[in-house]
Amino acid sequence: MSAALSSSSRSAIVIRLRAAGCVFAEDEAQLLIATARTPAELAAMVDRRADGLPLEHVLGWAEFCGLRMAVDAGVFVPRRRTEFLVRQAAAMARPGAVVVDLCCGSGAVGAALAGALGGVELHAADIDPAAVRCARRNVAAAGGQVHEGDLYGPLPATLRGRVDVLVASPPYVPAQEVGLLPREARVHEPREALDGGADGLAVVRRVAAGAPLWLAAGGRLLVETSERQGPQTAEILARSGLISRVACCEELNATAVIGIMPEPPGPS
């Protein structure tokens, strides 16, 4: 498809995407051209992108941690900043670890972490049926399982007290700020993947409250949040009995709060 397209046709696509407000119109045009199998499919893809559908939904995939992750229409698109969460988790885990990805969306975080570590026991969960269907495609490739339900609710009881790494990229946008998000997110991604309640931390509180039941001694909980919310998120984890700290990455504009499950005291 890419080789058959004339330079004038390529230019016309770039012009249309730029007129629609696509900042990286040239790069997006190249991806659309490379992905489409026929001229008719390309035309339809350009139409959808020009109408405001996120590029990843048009393509059906997103690049994340160097991997191609399936992303279905209506499913939260994994952000590049979330790669920092994966890197932090990978640095703390080991091959063979029990990994749980909560609020998994497309399952990109868990799948990328499994790819980085190799040989983990991976479980992921999300409340959105569309996200679960999508995540199963990504997580199955990593040998993991996806469970449908609210946070810890659908996880196998056999995981209690065994989880080495618990990662969560929960909704953390304050409800009153959701309307300020880019139109692509507001219109095409599920609100439950964005809206974190009055202060943005409602789901984070529930994740932290349940973590001690599921984490192994010395296990880690890693939660993505904003830089502004980092200190409060760390306090929330500490109140749940975890030893917490905030980690930031200026390059990706990313913040992760890390909580460690204390080891039980040794014999006196």
pLDDT in tens, 219-237: 999 999 999 999 999 999 9
Rounded to whole angstroms, the Cα distance separating 49 from 17 reads 7
Residue 260: exposure state from Cβ atoms within 10 A (0-12, 13-18, ≥19): middle
Rounded to whole angstroms, the Cα distance separating 241 from 165 reads 16
Closest to 103 (Cα-Cα) out of 207, 256, 233: 207
Side-chain-side CA neighbours of 61 within 13 Å: the count stands at 15
Any idea where the domains of the chain sit in the sequence?
7-51, 80-260
pLDDT in tens, 114-130: 999 988 999 999 999 99
- The matching CATH number, chosen from 3.40.640.10, 3.40.50.12780, 1.10.150.120, 3.40.50.150, for 80-260 is 3.40.50.150
- Tokens of residue 142, six digits: 């990593």
Binned average pLDDT, 10 residues per bin, the chain of 268 residues: 69 91 92 92 94 94 96 95 97 92 97 92 97 96 94 98 97 94 89 94 98 97 97 98 97 97 76
| Neighbouring residues of 267: CB distance < 8 A, sequence distance ≥ 6 | none
pLDDT for res 267: 63
Q: Is the distance from CB of 196 to CB of 172 less than 8 angstroms?
A: yes
